[in-house]
Structure formats: structure tokens, C-alpha cells
Structure 1
Amino acid sequence: MSDILDTLPSDATHRDAERVFTEAGWTACGAGDWAIALRSPDGAPGRTMAVRISPFDPTGPYTAALYREAAHTRQVPQLFAHRRLVGGGDLQVMEWLEAVDEADAIEFHQYIENRDESVAELVDIVRRIHERALQELPWCGPLDQNPSNVMRGSDGRLVVCDLFYADGPDLYATAAAHPEVVAERIPESERRFMTEIPLAASGPWDAAERESMRAGLAEADGRERTDPDVSGSD
């Protein structure tokens, strides 16, 4: 896996990442609203991995921080690599996970919400990182209690993933109606591909709407470049 990442240039985008992993034999295994997933070709027990590739994911670094800081709890996925991609994209290589029964997932989320003793250390780390994300990220949402975010590792343990997310409906509605607000709060370099997220769960996304949003943001960026007072206005 490290040799694949070594082939990615410093200016790699989500498209480059998907191409490089696909050429190395990784195969598509899923897609959500924010990212696609590819599975490693190595099927040996305990060694199968997945890579999550997103064109635009502001919360990616916070998720990676959670996986690293809470690794000793064994209640988060094992993270093998994390890399930010040009344009606001995010790449995470982690252990392969399996789905769990919805009842088990809901119970695990309840443990987290109530800071059950069995997950107390995990919860403290989650809350600390989420608080930082709320302070630093525009449109950072609350903790995601979707049952699909609880999965099972290769050793059978329950883990929680993707707890942090951007408030997509509000963010994208603002980008469509008031692109200057998004342009002011999120640098262009961190949202260049925000109209290319898969939206596999909530979509499809009308092509004309995407193009209109891209044009509005580009126009807003143009105003910011020519009018130094725009970024400082209320």
C-alpha cells in the first residue's frame, strides 16, 4: 500500500488517487454521499484493506485524528494512511470493515451518547476532537448517529467510523443561493471539487445544478480576487 501512495504526486487530486489505486488492482466496493471506497486485492485474512477517497471532505483530518488518538481503545478502525488531496479531497486507507445488525449499531451509538463505561475513553477523545472541529470548520455538523457508521473489524470487534461530517444540506444550499458566503469562509483551494462528491445516497445531483453552483462560486472567487474588501465584509 505504501508503494501506491509513493506514486501519488504532491499535487494529486481524488481522480489521480482513484486511478492509481485502480491500476494497482483495488476494486470499487461502495460509495456514499461524500466518498467512494475501493478494496485491496489482497484477500488474506486480517490483511484486507479499503481506501476511502473523497473529492471534498473538510472533516477528513479530524476523522483521521480520531482514528489515531483512539487507536488504543480498539473501538475505531485501524488507520494505515491518511493524506489530504489537492482541492479539498481526502484519502484514508484503513482495515476492511463489515456491516453489523442495525440493533447492535444503535446500541453502540447509545453507549457513546450516554458515555457508557465501556466506551468512556473513546467518548472523551471524540468529544475533544469534535469540539475542535466545531470551532475551526464552517458548517461542521453534530456527531453522526447513523447506524451504518458502526461496523465490525476483521477480529469481530465493533468500531465507530465517520462520526464527523459537514452539514451538507446547509453548506450546499448556501453555495447555491449565496456563493459569496461560501467563498468567504472556505478557501477555494479547500473546496475546488465540492461539486464532485458522489451523492450516492442522496443523489442523483442534477448536472445543471452542479454547473450553476460551480459558476456561482467561480464568480464569487473572481470578486474576492479583485475586491480586497469582500473577504472582510459582514
Structure 2
Amino acid sequence: MSKKNKDVIDVYSWPTPNGHKVHIMLEECGYRLGRDWIAHPIDIGAGDQFTPDFLKISPNNKIPAITDPNGPDGKSIHVFESGAILLYLAGKTGKFLPKSARGKYEVLQWLMFQMGGLGPMLGQNHHFRLYAPEKIEYAINRYTNEAKRLYGVLDTQLKDNPYIAGKTYSIADIAIYPWTRNWKNQGIDLEDFPNFKRWYEMVGKRPAVIRGCEVLTSLRKPLHDDKAREQLFGSTQYQRKK
């Protein structure tokens, strides 16, 4: 892991949907890569997420994680879990999370929808459709159908709302967008979800979203390597880390 710079936020990440959530949020908040924050690549295919240094910051051995030298009490703070990082940055900057109690909870319920439903289900969808060593029809059908259901939930919500949680762009939109960028691989036809398609195209044109989704992408390689598959899906995941 690279030496930390005391003047910037250190982001330990990889170009995945959860990584891009944080990259986008930082750029949306006015932070600029290379000036206000540094992206330290954690190559999850090479097993970087299991190194002792990274586990000190992210004990669940998942990206992303951040170190902010200027935490809430003026001291350095580590934050892991992408949803927690979005909330942390929203609190730090006062952006993309409404101040009113009602507005805040309207956003938070959709953030939880992404963290507890959309992300895990689309992750399983990707696994069984693209990465599993054998094609299991039951699993593919199960997670493809669940993906379509979740897109339907979003499409209904966006029928009368320009953004996920209402009239205002928020961390709910930032959390959900990166997970839907691979809609083709998820067995989704955007024409079946016109309200979602309108939102997806609108959010995808935001300059900060474009910049955030480009971070570290030059380092990512197709997952054809058996060693990389072992690091991501094999027994290495289940060994207790000390």
C-alpha cells in the first residue's frame, strides 16, 4: 500500500460498482482526484484485499475503504463499507443527503435498498451468468428474474420522480447507478423499463459520474485467470484472517 499523504483522502479501491460509488461521490462533492483524494488500487484478483495493511482499514476484506486525515474530531479516521462511506462524505460536506428528517429517510431507505437488495442480487446475477465454473440454469433464472423485479421497482419509483428518492439527486442515485451500468450482462432490456432508462441516461451524463467511473479502469483485466477466480470466489475468501 502506498504511503499516505496527510493532506488528502486516501481511497483504497478497485473499478467495481462499489468502488465507483465512492469515486463518484468524491467527485460530486467537489473533491478532485490527484488534488483532494488519491486512489490506491487494491487488486482484488491478485489478493491485495487480504494483506495485513488493508485489513487494518477494512476488516471485512472488501473494497472500498478510505482514510480521512481530517475526521469529525480533527483526527484521522478509517471508514469501510461503501454505503457508510457515502454517508460519511455526505455528513462531512453537507451534500446529497437532505437536511430534513423526512427527506433524509426517503433517501436512506433507497440506499438500504441498494446495499441490502440491488447490490447483492445483481452480484449473484453476475456470478452465475458470467463467472460460475458451471452454468446452473436454476441459479441463472433465479437471479435474472430477481434482477428484472428490482429494475421494475426502480422503474415504478421513477415514474413520478426525476431521481430515485424524489426531486433531488442524492446518495441514493450515486449508490444505485454503478450497479446498473452492466445491465446487458444482467439480462436486462432497458426498453422494458422506460422510466429507469430516462434516469440512467440522465445520471450517466453528469461530469462527476463520468470521471468517477473512469477511476482505475485501465488496471482492470478480464477475469479469465484461475488464480484471480480463486482469490474472488474460492476458499481464500473463507480463511480466517488474523
TM-score, normalization: structure 1? 0.27
Structure with greater helix share of residues: 2
Structure with greater strand share of residues: 1
TM-score, normalization: structure 2? 0.27
